[in-house]
A and B are shown apart, each in its own frame.
Chain A
Amino acid sequence: AQRVTQPEKLLSVFKGAPVELKCNYSYSGSPELFWYVQYSRQRLQLLLRHISRESIKGFTADLNKGETSFHLKKPFAQEEDSAMYYCALKVGSARQLTFGSGTQLTVLP
């Protein structure tokens, strides 16, 4: 069965420092990967998807099929980036996503 692993429950960085939130997946086929974000007192929402190859709020994520990873990166973290981040996987024509356990990012002033 497919699985998403986010090894860091908590991650703290200082403002202006680079940040990388790790995501690894297990699936033998061609996956679709996503990052969802939940800011304090807000709803969970889609941040970005690998297929779009876009940068959202300065964040990018590259799918590395060799390493089965989809790490989320930002070169200069801002305090407003503090949030819970979830990596999610869709396999084939599935009608649901598989989410990881989440990483709570805190950007310190």
Chain B
Amino acid sequence: DVKVTQSSRYLVKRTGEKVFLECVQDMDHENMFWYRQDPGLGLRLIYFSYDVKMKEKGDIPEGYSVSREKKERFSLILESASTNQTSMYLCASSLVNPDTQYFGPGTRLTVL
């Protein structure tokens, strides 16, 4: 079974703080993804990575950065958290073909 784990289920941060969300997968997948899930807006891609040290912007990269130093780990960084970044963050991984993505449990981030 593919396992995608995220470092926290719930996180509360203050405006201006630097926030790290970590995602680890154990199936040697090439692709990893970070999404935001918001009611009415669905799933929006923030960034994805198809290889170590490689990254590509998704639909809403502003205010975020990512890091992939090892194949199994993909980090999402909020350099200076803002209240409009309060959301559910989902990490996913897949083989080269992105058809079947395996999702983590999500991190619900609240920025006060």
Contacts and interface: CB of A to CB of B under 8 A. Distances in A.
Interface of A: 6, 9, 32, 34, 36, 43-46, 49, 86, 90, 94-102
A43 B3 CA distance: 11
Contacts of A102: 42-43
B100 to A, nearest CB: 5
Contacts of A49: 99
B99 A96 contact: no
Given A44-B90, A95-B48, A96-B33, A101 B100 contact: no
Nearest to A44: B103
Interface centre among A32, A95, A98, A102 (most CB of B within 10 A): A95
B13 interface: no
Contact of B42 (A32, A45, A86, A96): A86
A44 B58 CA distance: 19
Given A43-B105, A44-B90, A44-B103, A96 B58 contact: yes
Interface of B: 4, 31, 33, 35, 40-45, 48, 50, 56, 58-59, 90, 92, 96, 98-106
A9 B39 CA distance: 9
A6 B102 CA distance: 22
Given A44-B90, A95-B50, A96-B33, A101 B101 contact: no
Contact of B99 (A90, A99, A101): A90
B30 to A, nearest CB: 9
A36 B96 CA distance: 18
A11 B58 CA distance: 29
Nearest to A32: B99
Contacts of B103: 43-45
A86 B38 CA distance: 13
Given A99-B43, A102-B42, A90 B100 contact: no
